[in-house]
Amino acid sequence: AAKIMSKEWWLLAALLSTIVKNTHSYHVAMSPGSRLPLNARKLSRGGSFVSHKSSITLACKKTANKLPSKGFGAPPPPPVDRIKASSIASTVVSDIGARDDLTLHELASRFASVLQHYSTTQTLTEEVVQRNMLATRLDDLHLARCRCAPSLVSGAGNGLFASRDIALGELITLYPGDALLRWEDGVDHSPSRPVQVFFGKHVSPADQNAQRFVNELRAYEVPASASMSIIGDPNKQDDAAYLGHFANDAAMCSSENDRMRYQQDSEAGANSEIISVMGSHMASRALKHIKTGDEILVSYGYGYWITRSPQ
């Protein structure tokens, strides 16, 4: 029992350490030419390529001694208190090699434990905890089932490919929050409205360029809620656990007249979807069996293309 407790405590501590370290935030006014993320109204009409209907949500309850320990690196000696969580997490660089056994359910269970902790201690609100987790890349995840390579979709640049067979419903990879955008009102995302940009501890000071993310990298953006979205940095493609921002759409849409054709082609070509995991991470999940070497495609949705089409 003692060994199980130590593993569970480390797993919780590793997640807590990403939260107790403050994110860095900036207020940025978007340039008038920026294309914008979908607002809450469009999200409710299915204009986003995030499948909110199939998000992974678990009841937030105490789960000590009950959660599986696979999917994360081996724990160091058990900590004596939460203050040491940061140093503990940084020491977990075990020789896991290319271990690849993390599941969606296990990941959701970890987030449920973290949310329950802060709900009990009332030291941080759920929104702040979820925001900080969205803007985090977790270390030492056993998730290495895809790779980045030139896409087979014409003109798409890099794409995402399966490095092993992936089963229907299986976790493929995670969508990184290398920058998190937050709007105060949660609805009005017009260029005249300032947006908060948050960076997690994994983003170096040199890479914390809010203007670059807001005005140049919106093609790598995915909405996480009505008031927040995350952006993956296309320069970061070495971590197989966080490659969701490289999945392309099988089709494109440039006008309202092309909508029906686009929806048919895009949905037919999609073999994955982007889902929310406890509101704390975005993940790519397989919609069908994906064979080794297949390109992983996702339907961005009509709204994505229209909000980014030329005026």
Q: What is the DSSP string of 20-38?
A: HSPPEEEEEEPPTT-----
> How large is the angle between the packed helices 126-134 and 2-20, nearest 10 degrees?
90
- Residue 77 in contact with residue 296, Cβ under 8 Å? no
Q: How far apart are CA 109 and CA 115, in angstroms?
A: 10
**Per-residue pLDDT at 47:** 35
Averaged pLDDT in 10-residue chunks for the chain of 311 residues: 42 59 58 39 35 53 37 36 28 46 92 90 90 91 95 92 97 97 72 82 92 92 92 96 95 88 93 95 97 96 76 50
Question: 282 near 244, Cβ under 8 Å?
Answer: yes
206: left (phi over 0), alpha (psi -120 to 50) or beta: alpha
Show Cβ contacts of residue 17 under 8 Å, excluding neighbours closer than 6 positions: 85, 86, 88, 89, 90
pTM above 0.75?
A: yes
The helix/strand/coil state of 75 is coil
Instruction: Say what the pLDDT of residue 15 is.
Output: 64
- Per-residue pLDDT at 186: 64
Q: Is the dihedral of CA 273, 277, 278, 281 positive or negative?
A: negative
DSSP secondary structure, 158-196, as one string: EEEEESS-B-TT-EEEEE--SEEEE-SSSS---TTSEEE
- pLDDT at position 2 is 36
Residue 232 is predicted with a pLDDT of 97
* Confidence (pLDDT) at 139: 87
Q: Give the model's pLDDT for residue 9.
A: 52
Rounded to whole angstroms, the Cα distance separating 247 from 244 reads 6
